[in-house]
Amino acid sequence: MLEVEDLSVAYGRISALDGVDLVVPDGSVVALLGPNGAGKSTLLKAVAGLVPPIAGRVVLAGESLEGVPAHCRADLGVCLIPEGRGIFPSLTVADNLDVALSSHDEGMRRVVDYFPVLGERRAQLAGTLSGGEQQMLALARAVGAQPRLLMADELSLGLAPLLVRTIAETLERVHEEESRTILLVEQYATLALRLADLVYILNRGRLVWAGEPDELRASKVLVESYLGG
């Protein structure tokens, strides 16, 4: 289980997160929603150890991650798919996957089962893939690493609706078959609400709402205020 307790982050004098509390139960999918600039990406980066908090703490499986650097958090099973994908464009698809796979043969079979198109493109340079295929590669690398906590920042950004649906279906399958714990930041609320067991809404660095997807769908005020209608 991931616990974020009273977490605050600032960039100079600008507050990015202000006293945020959040829980991601084991085996759940939690969606983090809110307008641009709400602090969603900053929260993921703070959990991953990429930005330091000025107050509060991050706890994983009962152990505080205070002072634990990003590479050690990755070793503990914290995996972040950043906005922008974070793949190696000059390496082949197979080489990109090799970086993450804990067991090459078994891991490659799992990944290709989830993402057949990547099996067809193994020898292709990652930088020559389409935007949707690059996003699939980023997700495949994360899934192949078998993380304790998989965090994804804007997986649907810039993708056509058909690709968004494909990625949603794949994430659903990963969650169902592997009981993977997932923290998802999404502007595309429909995707997030389809996948999530629990939803948090951030606005201007503060937590303004938490509840189940059906509660959010039923609240026209919340949807119009924080999710753009």
Distance CA 56, CA 79 (A): 21
Judge whether residue 221 has pLDDT over 90.
Answer: no
Tell me which residue of 182, 160, 187 sits closest to 171, measured CA to CA: 182
Residue 125 in tokens: 């340079």
Task: Give every CB contact of residue 178 below 8 A, 6+ residues apart in sequence.
Answer: 143, 146
Judge whether residue 114 has pLDDT over 70.
Answer: yes
pLDDT band at 103 (very low <50, low <70, confident <90, very high): low
**Which residue has better confidence, 118 or 188?**
118
What pLDDT is stored for residue 175 in this prediction? 92
Tell me which residue of 178, 130, 145, 123 sits closest to 74, measured CA to CA: 145
> pLDDT by residue (tens digit) across 65-97?
999 999 999 999 999 998 877 789 999 999 999
Q: pTM for this structure? A: 0.92
Domain ranges across the chain: 1-77+181-228
Task: Give every CB contact of residue 20 below 8 A, 6+ residues apart in sequence.
Answer: 4, 6, 7, 8, 39, 43, 56, 202, 205, 206, 207
pLDDT band at 224 (very low <50, low <70, confident <90, very high): confident
pLDDT band at 198 (very low <50, low <70, confident <90, very high): very high
Q: What is the CA radius of gyration of the chain?
A: 17
What pLDDT is stored for residue 222 in this prediction? 82
Q: Would you tell me which CATH number, out of the four given (3.40.50.300, 3.30.70.100, 3.30.70.60, 1.20.1260.10), belongs to the domain 1-77+181-228?
A: 3.40.50.300
Residue 32 in tokens: 């983090």
What pLDDT is stored for residue 229 in this prediction? 55
